[in-house]
Amino acid sequence: MEDFLRDIKLIEDARGKLVVFENGNNCPFEVKRAYCIFGVKEGEERGFHAHKNLEQIAVCLSGSCEFILDDGKEQKTFALNSPKKGLYIGNNYWRVMKNFSKDCVLLVLASQHYDQSDYIRNYKEFLTYTKNAAK
């Protein structure tokens, strides 16, 4: 599995911090949607699904969390603990997010509008889908 962590330029001065995402520069897709996950209670886990047609970049603006990405063959854990690192997630990765710190603010940029029918929420179904997609 490739390493999906991408560098993000952090512009920091006495007033605070700023991060920039630009299509074609550090963001490989046109952003159609952005959402934030925050206030996650200790011990909570999220995700447990894959997407058929969705590219995303996830970045922790504050605090930390972990993403486990699974392509049906192997799993890799990515620690997100800096606004300088964005996790690029393409199609067909089962994801689990865990170990959220109390102060975690996770920003996710997405290539498509919200579409419930794009989610695969059953792991067995995901394995079948991803095997067929690879053919």
Given candidates 5, 8, 31, 37, which one binds ligand T46 under the rule CB under 6 A? 37
Residue 99 DSSP SS3: coil
* Residue from 70, 69, 104 nearest 78 by CA: 69
DSSP H or E segment with residue 123: helix 123-134
Q: What one-letter code names the amino acid at 109?
A: L
CB of 114 to ligand T46, least distance (A): 4
Q: What one-letter code names the amino acid at 78?
A: F
Q: Is 76 in the site for ligand T46 (CB under 6 A)?
A: no
Given candidates 6, 46, 76, 84, which one binds ligand T46 under the rule CB under 6 A? 46
Give the footprint of ligand T46 on this chain (CB under 6 A). Answer: 33, 35, 37, 46-47, 56, 58, 95, 108, 114
Q: So which residues are the catalytic ones?
A: 49
